[in-house]
Amino acid sequence: MDIKKEYERWLASATADDGVTKELREMDDAAIEDSFYRNLAFGTGGLRGVIGAGTNRMNVYTVAKASQGLADYLNKNDTQPSVVIGYDSRIKSDVFARVAAGVFAANGIKVHIWPTLTPVPTVSFAIRYLHASAGVMVTASHNPSKYNGYKVYGADGCQITSKAAKEILSEIEKLDIFADVKSMNFDAAMSGGTVAYIEDAVMTAFVSEVKNQSVLFGDEVDKNIAIVYSPLNGAGLVPVTRVLQEMGYTNISVVKEQEQPDGNFPTCPYPNPEIKEAMALGVEYAGKCRADLLLATDPDCDRVGIAVKDSNGEYVLLSGNETGILLLDYICSQRAKHDKMPANPVMFKTIVTMDLAERIATHYGVETSNVLTGFKFIGEQIGRLEKQGRVSDYVFGFEESYGYLTGSYVRDKDGVNGAAMICEMFAYYQTRGIRLLDKLNELYEEYGYCLNTLHSFEFAGSAGFAKMQAIMKKFRGEVGVGYSFAGKKCQTLLDYSLGLDDLPKSDVLKYLLEDSCSIVVRPSGTEPKLKVYISVSAPTKENAEEIEKMITGELDEYFM
């Protein structure tokens, strides 16, 4: 691509009144290069990028072009295609959703759009409920406010497969971003009936499915636990509070500064419940309210983080791995207790999620299936069970990045479901005088202590992209079987770029070390980052932290 020539073309052709033209006129040479050095990548996660002008940015033109490519793909593969569209609280999410709807309508595709912002799992649910051909969710999940994205789902409610992504990308690449995109005014499309708002009954059906995931099976619990909830200025407020209240949890306080949708995320610049700073205001509120439990969901409400009190009354944040193994054990123990375990139960987790979960699952006779990073791969596995007539065998799925799902009613992680199940688990144990942290320590005592950490290294721009590729090449060339980290030799190297265990090929390396330790290195699929996951099994927490620190120090030289 001739960067300067493409910039000049945009300057002459971009006429939409959305700030693009103004930004183009104010760009210096460095900004032009970063905004135009490539087309925003489209893959199994759809699009994700910084909001702004240019081919490497999220704007009405790149969204419209992606929508046209998806429309062409659907019209080739479906006689009467339809699409579900949802959006969250991010900057321009509602604008991009309406732009996409207008493109689909102009291509003769029926559009079902949620009338207000809504969580990711409701798009997956509505696709299946309305028998749509595909779905689009406008969101950048937990990224900073300057990002937005465009996630694409198939007719099964799962994020699109690699094969579908390649075919859609092929359609997108045929298009000129200005000359080949059909569009229709959103209001005109609504008036003509090509675009319609999704009815309240669909949300009610979704809420009903979430409530049906309870595994109390008649056990009594005190539902008057004091809960503080933060939607982190995202889409979770209405559905999460509705579900909890309908399930009987009415002692709920909401963090006021983070209650209403706001794509600027003024109190948490990185609105991710994995991040301590994003949870800080919620912890403060919990202290003031003397809450038993703090919940927070990310902007598109597919992830949920929690904090609980320790024996000194101080609030402790739990990791996604810790919450996941607690939920797994609770669900399995309740099913076993009430004879509700399916004949051939299975649990899904990602390859970077705590391996301790597999030991817990085995204890209950539950098979563990490991998949690539990304909940879409768990969704695919649920779909395979359904095709085999075994969907009732699905017990639980989770990933270390705070994503959980207990049912097959959607094919993506669900923060609404996660919040409901966490509250139920917490209430169950508290009613029986058990602190959640004590239960966690009980699991460690029974199955062994395991420490999992995540380290991210950011490489922005075109130079950063090249450096990430060079680092992955260096790992493949220098680090293999026999190589030692913190004195622990690598016993097995799993290079998922080769397509291991019937999984799709992916640029991921996993090093299985001695003493049940492991390291995973992979580029992020949604951000300009390399991610390193370290898992250390040890007799005590202190031993594990010491080993993890040594491994981290030895890895640092690869990212300089």
What pLDDT was estimated at residue 238?
98
**Whole-number pLDDT of residue 4:** 94
Residues of the chain with pLDDT under 70: 17, 526
- Of 95, 117, 401, residue with least CA distance to 233: 117
Q: Are 267 and 257 in contact (CB under 8 A)?
A: yes
pLDDT in the model for residue 463: 83
Q: What is the predicted pLDDT for the residue at 500?
A: 82
Q: What is the pLDDT of residues 313-334, one digit of tens each?
A: 999 999 999 999 999 999 999 9
Question: Using an 8 Å Cβ cutoff, are 105 and 195 in contact?
Answer: yes
- Is residue 408 annotated as part of the catalytic site, yes or no? no
Q: How many H-runs (helices) and E-runs (strands) does the chain carry?
A: 18, 21
Per-residue pLDDT at 139: 97
**pLDDT value, residue 466:** 86
Phi/psi of residue 225, each to 5°?
A: -60, 145
Q: Within 10 A of 464 (CB to CB), how many other CB atoms are there?
A: 15
Pairing of strands 110-113, 82-87: parallel
Q: 244-274: string of b/e by CB count within 10 Å (b at 16+)?
A: beebebeebbbbeebeebbbebebbeebbbb
C-alpha distance from residue 534 to each of 46, 236, 272, 292 (Å): 28, 31, 20, 31
Cα dihedral across residues 474, 476, 480, 484: positive or negative = positive
How many Cα atoms within 13 Å fall on the side-chain side of residue 449? 12
At 526 the pLDDT is: 67
pLDDT of residue 19: 83
Question: Which of 89, 93, 141, 319 is the catalytic position?
Answer: 141
d(CA 157, CA 379): 8
Strand order in the sheet with 488-495: 449-458, 529-538, 517-523, 509-513, 488-495, 484-485
How many Å apart are CA 189 and CA 61, to the nearest integer?
19
Query: Residue 542 has which token pair?
Result: 């202190």
